[in-house]
Amino acid sequence: MQYRILGRTGVQVSTLALGAMNFGKIGRTTQDEVTGIVDAALEAGINLIDTADVYSGGESEEMVGKAIGGRRDDIVLATKATMPMGDERNRQGGSRRWLVTALEDSLRRLGVDHVDLYQIHRWDSNTSDEETLSALTDLQRAGKIRYFGSSTFPAYRIVQAQWAAREHRLSRYVTEQPSYSILQRGIETHVLPVTEQYGLGVMVWSPLASGWLSGAIREGSEITTSRSTFMPQRFDTTIPSNRARLDAVEQLAKVADEAGLTMIQLALAFVTAHPGVTSALLGPRTLDHLYSQLAAADITLSADVLDAIDGIVAPGTDLAAHEKNDTPPALLDSSLRRR
């Protein structure tokens, strides 16, 4: 396992990190399975575990808390908030009112007195940067969080938050967690240059592109991945963006074969090769999934392989831009762009 400094925090984290979205109902995993995955990940040298309150309605945090019992000090523990936690309208977002409550709930589920990294899961357009940063700064000063970061923020919002922190003399986001893979390279255009400029640590999610880069999806084979069962529209190859992904996968498979690598090794080594990326978040549902991904821990891609990948999916290109989850609200809500 390799390690990098998380932004400018001085904290060393593994280049492969454990994402816990599949823990609980979403991934149909039991506590014993989760504990086994966590044990194997820590044994392999992973020291960063990332979860969120919304994952399986809090079940993921509870499972992580039980799995890390007695080993809390050896783990960089991260969680997230702002996504809806129930039907009540104020149990979401970036307000002080909700973040204070959400953090207390997360700490209780995790069974800890603090988290190392608390992340704003999505930018809340209804809440000012000053409101959110002020609440996070106070929680940090109270010792309940060590650092805080953002997740899936557009580049201009990352910049705005940095300036808001400076203007109001508040602590700032020190990390960003965007989606990034060979098939979704849009963050290379704006987000990664900005995070590098401001010295943010970057932990990327979905480096296997929801399973497209797992090796299980190939031309002529039925797509039966777990994700395809509850998100079928993302894998319908009659849709042009999905057809483009399948065509790219076939070409990437040849690059991987010629390099003596699995598709998973190629995909994970690609995202960690970028100098702006700190860690790639793995999202295993089983131990076999974890082991296949850990095989990428010591892989370094040659310039020829990276050039070949660029020839298949050009730098800065998203093959499915509509899946980025950072679309400005005005493009989604007509009332925000019309009088």
Q: Is 3 a catalytic residue?
A: no
What residue type is assigned to position 88 of the chain? Answer: E
Cβ atoms of 184 and 318 within 8 Å: the answer is: yes
Beta bridge mates, 81:
120
- DSSP-derived letter for residue 221 is S
d(CA 314, CA 248): 11
Helices (H), the chain: 31-43, 59-67, 96-110, 129-141, 155-167, 191-198, 226-230, 240-259, 263-273, 287-294, 303-312, 329-332
Single out the residue of 239, 237, 269 nearest to residue 250, CA to CA: 237
Taking the CB of residue 234, how many other CB atoms lie within 10 A of it? 21
As a whole number of Å, the CA-based R_g of the chain is 19
Q: Which of 55, 118, 173, 180 is catalytic?
A: 55
Please list the active-site residues: 55
